A and B are shown apart, each in its own frame.
Chain A
């Protein structure tokens, strides 16, 4: 249900390593703020209901669906969006395996996968499955994404 409140409140948080101070509505989701206030449109809206994972970002290093979090809840937190990833092995693996078609779900998958790499660098197949089933890709069969993810986690184990 949309809110009638048009008042704006100041808030401060860290996005991709930079401190940002902005004014937001209490009802704005974090996804909305990232996209419309900060122009970070790499995070996508796919359902605004936490069902598809296209809006996945990292909050203090952990994956979070930004459509399910109010902007004001991010006060003081450290947010990483796809624009903030630099040389992530996940991106490289997605490129190598061409693990995308239309690319709309890709930022969400990459952020989720990168978050998994932060938390469980040695994740086994079952852990990977449980984490990644929160994201939907409609173009592909998940075969390519599976190959890309496997390449990342095999690689991290070696190093």
Chain B
């Protein structure tokens, strides 16, 4: 009883500590063929010719194909990407050919034998460069690309998407402003670096049925993409997704699934596996988006922000993919969680000759928050206000409108002032600003706020089926993917709460199978517990009604007199009188043998409500069901001689609406904070002047390691979102969003110079400090 709010352990706990968990690549299968890709050594070039003859000479090779084998364009919202390059390559690491062989090492040897001739083209190195009028064009046929969703590419430029926000009156805002600042920031592209590399297995059966196994956040989108690209009816594409070894947005894109399908097709439909090496996972598959931003912010004497003028140039890389949608998300929440009447923002997804970008935890928000929160600190400083006080003063809330002019109320936005107030206590803010510890060591705190709504398609939805077993236990079927976040366990808690039964009596598989599990849009945007959870509540209510109906016949009463809980159906006014669920879960058998009812199977589905597309000229519209808000802080200990530093404390106060599983919730927040601190402090792809990535290994691309973790302080506020199960809000991404900003704000205060470029390595801090004098 009371499963919601309890720290129940993950359903798959013991499998995970005994090595018995089966991830996608853990099922050796005799006869399985292996694919490997050959990739471009150039960032931008015309393909003159590809010679595959030497590859064919390797023993065990069964097929070698190039982009001409099946020339299609894929990608959503904009179909701009051939799965294997055709005519030209647009990034270092782009697939140019694919080999299928008997063994993995044979495929690998053959791929190395593929030779291509290129004519080099000028390389576009950054979104700012791509934005220049005379920049080399990366997509010459931009106007002809098919559009699957709301997207506004500008032909003849490198702009894959532009979203405009026009709220209030720009001039009026500036007229009211006494103080003004301008800030430029740069966030480079980096990698998701999930520990499990992307992997897909495809098989085409003689009748046309296509089976894809994939480590993915989007099994139902894979099904749709394969169906659309290769003209197979949806029901004939079956996608299996087992437990996923981390993803962070990176496994929501559809990339190697196309390649695995083509590989299988090239060998007559036999099962073929394609697994990325770490190096290819980093450079060939899609990456974490970058951003160049310019923000102008003005406020009154009293410190009330009156004007925001914003240009976000997201580094979408060579293909638009979800970068186009992320740039829209960046526009939707462009100001951060502040009440600003006059907002003028252009948020663009730029093509560059970098690897292409896809969803990354925070979906465009960590990057814009870094820009906006640097601006907030600068403006607070100019008005001479305490940075937290300044944020509190401008915090958005019920009665205010967002940049998309959505009216906020107590349900669709969390309580930011409360988060800020609590953060102040949690981090002992009054001890600021700078504490000298010992000689050259100083301790400094930096703060920031964040918000995020989900930017899903307006019809995103999910289904759920609740099946009762003869002993009264329950199987839950749904399409949410377990990527480590604990969603599938949390969903059984939601079901247990509604059915008022022991959550240990509810089973859920580890795998999602599109053939048997009801559809779920995708496991992204911190929306699975919301969408699937709502579907589960409906399915539970449906099952409860069925149980009451059967019981009412046995108990000779009306169903409305009955209640369900504790494994029984009982009279509301006489709870000791009733019948066990186990006796009616598969129908009730009277002593005569006559049976009524049948297996109790509850079904439910839910889709987003009242979301609208944005007006292309003003951005007006309703982008998401609610905004999660929070306040964060980082404390660093900096050596003022060499700019090395230690992150000693990091804190988050977040309005979670309702915490379903406290242990999971804290772990989601701290895990996301760690990822944010890692990319803010050290992660970035290093490109040479030809656009070649120099650090494509975990030896040279550094991640935060054991022992470097600061002290984490996490606290929750619970302001219910009335549309969500038990009032919950999304929290899967949010711990990450403000970490780069809070780190930069603490270090900027420490060195007395604005640090507006990630990652914040001691060397980059030294350079900034020395450039400024």
Residues of chain B contacted by A4 (CB below 8 angstroms): 58, 109
A41-B26, A103-B245 known; A142+B12 contact, CB < 8 A: no
Docked-complex contact B699 and A102, CB < 8 angstroms:
no
A115 within 8 A of B: no
Q: Among the listed A48, A82, A102, A104, which residue makes an inter-chain contact with B278, where contact means beta carbons less than 8 Å apart?
A: A48
Inter-chain CA distance A49–B281, complex, in Å, is: 14
Docked-complex contact A82 and B19, CB < 8 angstroms:
yes
Inter-chain CA distance A41–B27, complex, in Å, is: 8
Inter-chain CA distance A95–B8, complex, in Å, is: 11
Inter-chain CA distance A43–B19, complex, in Å, is: 7
B340 within 8 A of A: no
Residues of chain B contacted by A82 (CB below 8 angstroms): 18-19
Q: Separation in Å of the B554 CB from the closest CB of chain A? A: 42
B394 within 8 A of A: no
Inter-chain CA distance A72–B570, complex, in Å, is: 67
A46-B196, A136-B698 known; A145+B706 contact, CB < 8 A: yes
Docked-complex contact A51 and B671, CB < 8 angstroms:
no
Residues of chain B contacted by A27 (CB below 8 angstroms): 105
Q: Among the listed A25, A104, A133, which residue makes an inter-chain contact with B245, where contact means beta carbons less than 8 Å apart?
A: A104
| Binding-face segment, B480-488, B597-605, B608-616 | B480-488
Residues of chain B contacted by A41 (CB below 8 angstroms): 19, 22, 25-28
Docked-complex contact A102 and B246, CB < 8 angstroms:
yes
Docked-complex contact A42 and B698, CB < 8 angstroms:
no
Within B1-54, which residues are at the interface with A (CB < 8 Å)? 7, 9-10, 12-23, 25-28
Residues of chain A contacted by B15 (CB below 8 angstroms): 103
Per-residue interface assignment for chain A, residues 24 to 68, with 1 indicating a CB less than 8 Å from any chain B CB and 0 otherwise: 010100000001100111111111111110100000000000000
Q: Separation in Å of the B747 CB from the closest CB of chain A? A: 20
B757 within 8 A of A: no
Q: Separation in Å of the B471 CB from the closest CB of chain A? A: 26
Within A64-122, which residues are at the interface with B (CB < 8 Å)? 81-83, 85, 91, 94-95, 98, 100-107, 110
Interface centre among A46, A105, A110 (most CB of B within 10 A): A46
Interface centre among A44, A98, A144 (most CB of B within 10 A): A98
B292 within 8 A of A: no
A102-B196, A139-B484 known; A132+B706 contact, CB < 8 A: yes
Majority SS at the chain A contact face: loop
Q: Among the listed B9, B195, B706, which residue makes an inter-chain contact with A129, where contact means beta carbons less than 8 Å apart?
A: B706
Residues of chain A contacted by B709 (CB below 8 angstroms): 141-143, 146
Inter-chain CA distance A104–B277, complex, in Å, is: 16
Docked-complex contact B706 and A142, CB < 8 angstroms:
yes
Q: Separation in Å of the B493 CB from the closest CB of chain A? A: 14
B325 within 8 A of A: no
A49-B698, A142-B674 known; A103+B21 contact, CB < 8 A: yes
Docked-complex contact B196 and A100, CB < 8 angstroms:
no
Inter-chain CA distance A49–B698, complex, in Å, is: 8
Q: Separation in Å of the B197 CB from the closest CB of chain A? A: 7
Question: From A3, which residue of chain B is reached at the shortest CB distance?
Answer: B105
Inter-chain CA distance A138–B671, complex, in Å, is: 8
Q: Among the listed A45, A106, A129, A138, which residue makes an inter-chain contact with B17, where contact means beta carbons less than 8 Å apart?
A: A106
Residues of chain A contacted by B704 (CB below 8 angstroms): 142
Residues of chain B contacted by A49 (CB below 8 angstroms): 278, 697-699
Inter-chain CA distance A50–B708, complex, in Å, is: 20
Q: Separation in Å of the A115 CB from the closest CB of chain B? A: 15
Inter-chain CA distance A131–B697, complex, in Å, is: 21
B193 within 8 A of A: yes
Q: Separation in Å of the B660 CB from the closest CB of chain A? A: 15
A139-B484, A140-B670 known; A104+B17 contact, CB < 8 A: no
Inter-chain CA distance A36–B112, complex, in Å, is: 23
Q: Separation in Å of the A157 CB from the closest CB of chain B? A: 20
Q: Among the listed B25, B58, B245, B675, which residue makes an inter-chain contact with A102, where contact means beta carbons less than 8 Å apart?
A: B245
Docked-complex contact B703 and A2, CB < 8 angstroms:
no
Inter-chain CA distance A46–B28, complex, in Å, is: 17
Q: Separation in Å of the A131 CB from the closest CB of chain B? A: 9
Per-residue interface assignment for chain B, residues 670 to 708, with 1 indicating a CB less than 8 Å from any chain A CB and 0 otherwise: 110111000000000000000000000111000111111
Q: Among the listed B18, B245, B675, which residue makes an inter-chain contact with A44, where contact means beta carbons less than 8 Å apart?
A: B245
A6 within 8 A of B: yes
Residues of chain A contacted by B7 (CB below 8 angstroms): 98
Q: Separation in Å of the A124 CB from the closest CB of chain B? A: 13
Q: Separation in Å of the B454 CB from the closest CB of chain A? A: 21
Docked-complex contact B698 and A103, CB < 8 angstroms:
no
Docked-complex contact A52 and B698, CB < 8 angstroms:
yes
Q: Separation in Å of the B696 CB from the closest CB of chain A? A: 11
Q: Among the listed A3, A43, A46, A142, which residue makes an inter-chain contact with B195, where contact means beta carbons less than 8 Å apart?
A: A46
Q: Separation in Å of the A109 CB from the closest CB of chain B? A: 8
Residues of chain B contacted by A25 (CB below 8 angstroms): 105
Residues of chain A contacted by B663 (CB below 8 angstroms): 98
Within B90-119, which residues are at the interface with A (CB < 8 Å)? 105, 108-109, 112
Docked-complex contact B13 and A52, CB < 8 angstroms:
no
Inter-chain CA distance A133–B704, complex, in Å, is: 9
Please list 12 pairs of residues, one from A and one from B, whose beta carbons are closer than 8 Å in the complex, sorted by A's number. Answer: A41-B28, A46-B196, A48-B278, A49-B697, A98-B664, A100-B484, A101-B486, A103-B245, A129-B707, A135-B706, A142-B704, A142-B709
Q: Which positions in B face A, CB cutoff 8 Å? A: 7, 9-10, 12-23, 25-28, 58-59, 105, 108-109, 112, 193-197, 243-246, 248, 277-278, 483-486, 663-664, 667, 670-671, 673-675, 697-699, 703-709, 712
Q: Which positions in A face B, CB cutoff 8 Å? A: 2-4, 6, 25, 27, 35-36, 39-52, 54, 81-83, 85, 91, 94-95, 98, 100-107, 110, 129, 132-133, 135-146
Complex A-B, nearest 5 residue pairs according to Cβ-Cβ distance, in ascending order = A42-B19, A102-B484, A104-B245, A82-B19, A101-B484
Known: A136-B195, A136-B698, A142-B674; 4 extra A-B contacts, CB below 8 A, are A2-B105, A49-B697, A102-B194, A140-B667
